[in-house]
Homo-oligomer: A and B are copies of this chain.
């Protein structure tokens, strides 16, 4: 294998990145796969292990790989990770982060829900129903939060806009740690009702209703967090 055929790789590392990315993209990504060992990759690609390491590190930061010490290099799909890192760097203070996070969600998610109402396929609807059932039957808070996040993810997915999905995945992961401490019994029941209304609006294809239901939901979640942070004082 040789990299000279590729288009203007400014450096060897870049070339190897391109090859690996192509290798990853070109495979069925349904099951998590493992890459060959660093030394093996270096030999196959005709470069040193140094270059392979820098390339895999880079792809790991981009959320395409996960490097595990002593085990190997796993192919994953977590493209939202870089944004999470950026946000953590940008706003070190957790409180400020949550407040700004909620404002941003309020900008994005109602629109995402509206687009979902307009564009969702039958497959999307089925997924949404499944996730909502999971939310209803979740045994504990941890499971409820997981289902909650999955629901928002599915809505962003149904919106047909990949940017929404990327942003919401990131915002969800950033907000996760705090949610673990805020959702209580009442919060969960409210969340189920809210999500039911959103789901119903999307099924009906009503963009306006979906937007409004999502708006209500996020505003409520925001108040929930405010209470929790007050209680923490």
Residues of A bordering B, CB below 8 Å? 21, 50, 53-54, 57-58, 61-64, 79-80, 82-83, 85-87, 89-91, 100-101, 103-104, 106-108, 111-112, 115, 161-164, 166-167
Contacts and interface: CB of A to CB of B under 8 A. Distances in A.
Contacts of A21: 89
A111 B107 contact: yes
Given A82-B85, A83-B83, A100 B161 contact: yes
User: Which of A21, A54, A91, A166 has the most C-beta atoms of chain B within 10 angstroms of its own C-beta?
Assistant: A166
Contact of A164 (B58, B79, B104): B104
Contacts of A82: 61-62, 82-83, 85-86
Contacts of A83: 82-83, 86
A163 B58 contact: no
A173 to B, nearest CB: 14
Contacts of A91: 162-163
B107 A86 contact: no
5 contacts: A61-B82, A82-B82, A100-B162, A103-B161, A108-B108
A103 B111 contact: yes
A26 to B, nearest CB: 13
Given A101-B163, A108-B108, 9 more contacts: A54-B54, A61-B82, A62-B86, A82-B85, A82-B86, A83-B83, A104-B164, A107-B107, A107-B164
Nearest to A164: B104
A166 B87 contact: yes
Contacts of A80: 86
Contacts of A164: 100, 103-104, 107
Contacts of A58: 57, 61
A115 B103 contact: yes
